Copies of this chain bind each other. A is one copy, B any other.
Amino acid sequence: MDVEDTRRYADLWAHVESETSRRLLLAALDAFADHGFEAATTRDIARRAGMSPAAVYLYYRSKVELLEKIMRIGHESVLQEVIDAMDGHVSAPDRTAAFVTAFSSWHARFATLGQVTARELRALPPERFGEILALRQATERLVADELERGAAEGELHVDDLQGTVRAILSLGVDSARWYAPQRGGDPESIGQLHADLVLRMLR
Size of interface on A: residues with Cβ below 8 Å to B: 34
| 0/1 interface trace, chain A 164-203, chain B, CB 8 Å (1 if under) | 1011011101110110000011000010011011001111
Residues of B within 8 A of A159 (CB): 193, 196
* Assembly CA distance A184 to B202 (angstroms): 22
The reply to whether the CB of A38 lies closer than 8 angstroms to some CB of chain B is yes
Check A160 against B193 for contact (C-beta < 8 Å): yes
* Assembly CA distance A177 to B173 (angstroms): 10
Q: How far is the CB of A56 from chain B (nearest CB, A)?
A: 20
* Assembly CA distance A37 to B194 (angstroms): 32
* Assembly CA distance A167 to B170 (angstroms): 9
SS of A interface (majority) = helix
* Assembly CA distance A118 to B119 (angstroms): 11
Residues of B within 8 A of A201 (CB): 197, 200-201
CB-nearest residue of chain B relative to A200? B201
Q: How far is the CB of A34 from chain B (nearest CB, A)?
A: 9
Residues of B within 8 A of A185 (CB): 163
| 0/1 interface trace, chain A 97-132, chain B, CB 8 Å (1 if under) | 000000000000000000000110000000000000
The reply to whether the CB of A36 lies closer than 8 angstroms to some CB of chain B is yes
The reply to whether the CB of A15 lies closer than 8 angstroms to some CB of chain B is no
Q: How far is the CB of A39 from chain B (nearest CB, A)?
A: 4
> Which of B162, B177, B193, B203 is the one whose CB lies under 8 Å from A203?
B203
> Which of B162, B163, B175 is the one whose CB lies under 8 Å from A170?
B175
Residues of B within 8 A of A170 (CB): 170-171, 173-175, 178
Q: How far is the CB of A45 from chain B (nearest CB, A)?
A: 15
The reply to whether the CB of A61 lies closer than 8 angstroms to some CB of chain B is no
| 0/1 interface trace, chain A 127-152, chain B, CB 8 Å (1 if under) | 00000000000000000000000000
The 3 lowest CB-CB distance pairs between A and B, nearest first, are A36-B36, A170-B174, A38-B39
